[in-house]
Structure 1
Amino acid sequence: MIHISTVTSKYQVTIPLEIRQKKGLKVGDKVIFQYTEDGDILIRPIRKKTARELAGSLYREDTPYIPIEEARRITQEELARRIDEEGKYFDENSGS
C-alpha cells in the first residue's frame, strides 16, 4: 500500500484515512519520526497509557514532586534522546 501526501507551507502532511483507521490515530495523537539505518523515515504512533495502567509503576519514596507538565516535558526530551542516540522506540508492538 502506497500513499502520497504533500508538505504544506507550514510543513504539515495529512496522514491518509486508511492509515489513520488502521493505526487508530485520532486528532491530538503524537507520532515519532525516526530515521532508519538505511536513511528511510519511519512514522510511529506514541500510545498513551491511562492513569490506571501507570498507577504505581513510577512510585519511589525518594523522588521529589514534579508538576505534570514538567514531567511530560522531561519524558518527551528523554524519549527523543533515546531515539536519537539508540535508534530505539517504544510502542505497544515492540515488546519493550
Structure 2
Amino acid sequence: MAAATITSKGQVTIPVDVRNKLGLEAGDRIEFSFNEATGRYEICPATRSLASLEGIVKKPAKQVSIEDMNRAIAEQGALAR
C-alpha cells in the first residue's frame, strides 16, 4: 500500500507508482469521490479524452458557410463598438 504525508499547506505528493497506475502527469487534475459503501474516498483522474466529448455540441439544422460565419463575426464586432 502506498502512503504519503500531508504538508502544513494541506498538500500531498502522490507516490510515483500510484501516478503511473492512474496515468497521471504533471498538471493533470484529480477528483475525490466518497464511496458510501466502503466509507472511503476514491481518487480518479479528472481527464477526458477528446473522443468522450463527441456529441456534446449538436449539429446545426442547416450548414453554415465560412462566409456566413465571417459575416456574423463582423456584424457582432460592429455592434460592440
* SS, match of residue 42 in structure 1: strand
Which residue in 2 is equivalent to 1:42?
A: 42
Normalization by structure 2: what TM-score? 0.60
- Specify the structure having the higher radius of gyration (Cα): 2
Q: Partner of 2:56 in structure 1?
A: 58
Q: Give the unaligned 5+ runs of structure 1.
A: 62-96
Q: Which aligned segments of 4 or more residues in structure 1 are displaced greater than 4 angstroms?
A: none
CA RMSD in angstroms, aligned pairs only: 1.9
Sequence identity, in percent? Answer: 37
- Aligned residue-pair number: 58
Cross-structure match for 1:9: 8
Stretches of structure 2 lacking an aligned partner (at least 5 in a row): 61-81
Which protein has greater RCO, CA pairs closer than 8 Å, 6+ apart? 1
Deviation of the 1:41 alpha carbon: 0.9
Q: How is 1:20-39 mapped onto 2 (pairs within 5 angstroms)?
A: 20-37=19-36, 38-39=38-39
